[in-house]
Amino acid sequence: MAITIDKFEYANDGAAQAAWAVIDLPELYHYKCNDNAANTTVTDATGTNNGTASANTSTFYTASGKIGGAFDFDGTKYVNLGTSKFNTPKGAICFWLVSKGTLNTSRWILGRGPNLDVWADLGMAFVSLSGSYYLALSGVGGTTIAKKVVLASSINDGDHLIFNLFEDGTAQVYLNNSLITPTETLSGFDWDNDITNQLSIANAGARADGLYRFDGVIDDIRFYDTTLTAAQRAVVYNGGNGTENSLTGGIVVSSESSTKKEGSYSLKLVAAQTTSLNNYITRTVSPTINLTDQSSIKLWVYASRIGTNLKIGFHDSGGTTTEGNIEITSANTWEEKTIDISAVDNANKDAIDSIILTVTNADAENTVYIDSLFAYSDGEGTSAGGGFPILGGSIVR
């Protein structure tokens, strides 16, 4: 029997946006680390808070970053991001650790604190504790020791780190978008403690004695004033490829009553030029849907651009995502598209918990309408001229 996955009958834009998670979160600060000039300005891509380097950026810029350039610190240079910054009781901090440097002493990757030999009020560091090196998280300052997150040997060059900092004083750490089980309980923090102290990259705040400065390579440093959701984390990590795109403005989702294939509504998404690349929207399926023995996914698509600019994915609760490209041959025309899932093991499609629509080409704006998403087994299909027959199965809306 055919299984109705989604008929997109969202009566208004609010319902469509609620059903499909829109990746829309502006960065508080975003340092792409592409600065390579005979000056000390470190550009914040949001236009909010440029940093000031302790030396011309050309002296520590490297072209070998995760995405474009990066900053290659030598244990002496650092970037001052100013005082009273990241003034929020919760948030998130992300960066690519292109190289973790030489672990021969404690090293602050990011820190906010005074010019004193104390723990940072807010910081991430490799620290020497009890004879071993750890990735550590600090969030109180003074004499309160940093919390050990994981052994430094568990971190490799090229890894990505996301720190979710919660208002209740707890934290989560994601290594390559997988949640770390920390060495210690990450609680008791105060993220906006002493926010008048300096925030720095590769230094523990304002300290000027040259001790404990980072000596590795870091790229794409982001600060947010709220924690990141799974969908947002996935966009930043981008399957291990990284991105310099913002989380805001990439895709706009709404309900559409005029351009539709069947029923009363279709789903409309507008993917902005350039900024929507690799961004996506997700639809949580609850309860999960069982596609065991189904061989094809079929949907109707109407798009303003021809070519392969979009893909659809189905995530199974077991951890597997099955994806298929959507190629448009005629612009502004309804086309039926089929995604072959016959080779996917039943164990990887028996509990679909989310649907993902991803922009794979954003060199021009694209307006796309989606309608009638079904799964079929061999021998079933649709008529050439109409919508999908409802042959049974579960309906998720």
- pLDDT above 60 (res 310): yes
CATH level 3 topology of 3-23+249-376 = Jelly Rolls (2.60.120)
The residue-averaged pLDDT of 313-327 equals 92
Q: What is the pLDDT of residue 33?
A: 98
Q: What is the pLDDT of residue 98?
A: 98
CA distance 126 to 139: 15
* Ramachandran category for residue 47: left, alpha or beta (phi over 0 → left; psi -120 to 50 → alpha): left
Q: What is the pLDDT of residue 395?
A: 28
Q: What is the pLDDT of residue 383?
A: 40
Q: What is the pLDDT of residue 21?
A: 79
Amino acid at 344: V
The alpha carbon torsion through 20, 23, 24, 28 (nearest 10 deg) reads: 150
> Per the omega criterion (within 30 degrees of 0), is the bond before 287 cis?
yes
Poorest-pLDDT segment among 78-82, 108-112, 250-254, 341-345: 250-254
- pLDDT above 90 (res 234): no
Poorest-pLDDT segment among 72-76, 313-317, 324-328, 378-382: 378-382
- pLDDT above 50 (res 382): no
Q: At 271, is the pLDDT very low, low, confident or very high (cuts 50, 70, 90)?
A: very high
- pLDDT above 50 (res 393): no
- Which residue has better confidence, 220 or 272? 220
Q: At 396, is the pLDDT very low, low, confident or very high (cuts 50, 70, 90)?
A: very low
* Ramachandran category for residue 104: left, alpha or beta (phi over 0 → left; psi -120 to 50 → alpha): alpha
Q: At 155, is the pLDDT very low, low, confident or very high (cuts 50, 70, 90)?
A: very high
Q: What is the pLDDT of residue 378?
A: 65
Long-range contacts of 287-292 (CB under 8 A, 24+ apart): 288/317, 288/351, 288/352, 288/353, 289/3, 289/5, 289/351, 289/352, 289/394, 289/396, 290/3, 290/350, 290/351, 290/352, 290/394, 291/3, 291/341, 291/349, 291/350, 291/352, 291/375, 292/346, 292/349, 292/350
Q: What is the pLDDT of residue 379?
A: 58
**How confident is the model over 196-207, as pLDDT tens digits?**
999 999 999 999
- Which residue has better confidence, 395 or 228? 228
The residue-averaged pLDDT of 169-178 equals 97
**How confident is the model over 3-39, as pLDDT tens digits?**
999 999 999 988 998 888 777 788 999 999 999 999 9
* CATH number of this structure's domain 29-240: 2.60.120.200
- pLDDT above 70 (res 389): no
**How confident is the model over 322-378, as pLDDT tens digits?**
999 999 999 999 999 999 999 999 999 999 999 999 999 999 999 999 999 999 886
Q: What is the pLDDT of residue 153?
A: 95
Domains of the chain by residue range: 3-23+249-376, 29-240
- What is the average pLDDT score of the chain? 91
Q: What is the pLDDT of residue 14?
A: 87
Same fold for the pair 3-23+249-376 and 29-240 = yes
Q: What is the pLDDT of residue 376?
A: 86
The residue-averaged pLDDT of 85-113 equals 94
Q: What is the pLDDT of residue 106?
A: 92
* Ramachandran category for residue 259: left, alpha or beta (phi over 0 → left; psi -120 to 50 → alpha): beta
